[in-house]
Amino acid sequence: MIQLIPAIDIIDGKCVRLSQGKYDQKKVYNENVLEVAKEFEAHGITRLHLVDLDGAKAKHIVNYKVLENIASNTNLCIDFGGGLKTDEDLKIAFECGASMVTGGSIAIKNAATFISWINTYGKDKIILGADVKGETIALNGWTEESECKLMPFLNSYIQKGIDKVICTDIAKDGMLEGPSIDLYKKILSKHKDLYLIASGGVSSMEDIATLESAGLPAVIFGKAIYEGRISLKQLESSIIQKHIIIC
């Protein structure tokens, strides 16, 4: 059964969504992020993907108070990412209530630090973020492209112990045009035991069902909820019917 993980992206402490990672195509959905998180929890959600977009751009953690507020006032299992570049950033994230953290840019720009996080905290606490344009890794909130290709990038970190990856197709993100099924199938064909979390493009419960049929163990989605394409009642019904444990 596929794990359902709603996303909250934060700019200026507000719940927003971007289109294809473009900061100038920002839409604010709610100024009260805790309210959004509590609504998810009230409908049976127990796992949350929280992204500090200010942090991603600034290259250090920014919205840690938002993380702390949600962690202190809900029982959600929070995966936090965005702007985690140093040991101090990571310490702040965990102290403010993150259950797991996602590192993407740092895994390329400062591999030694990222590997030390895996060794120190363990693979259950560290998720590898693979944000791609085509099959090239993008960095720093998708504002930069690297020369690193997706498959060698994944291969390298799987060999180092990573077993959970969030893969976001930037071209799909926020567009509500369906996820990159072929890309995810390609990854899983090479790494059958990888806990691959699909992200980007989900527009309906049918898209989620398609990902589940393709063997994806988990999916992150946000805009489909905020735009009314997927209702919280639909999520709640799916959780009840499948007896999903989301954490």
Can you tell me which residue has the tokens 């589940």?
Answer: 212
Query: Catalytic one among 52, 54, 79, 131?
Result: 131
What lies within 8 Å, CB to CB, of 209 at 6+ separation is none
CB 131 within 8 A of CB 120: no
Whether 9 sits among the annotated catalytic residues: the reply is yes
- Show the 3-state SS of 23-61: EEEEEEEECCHHHHHHHHHHCCCCEEEEEEHHHHHHCCC
Concerning whether 131 is annotated as a catalytic residue, the answer is yes
CA 198 to centroid of chain Cα atoms: 8
**From CA 167, how far away is CA 165, in angstroms rounded?**
6
Residues tagged active-site: 9, 131
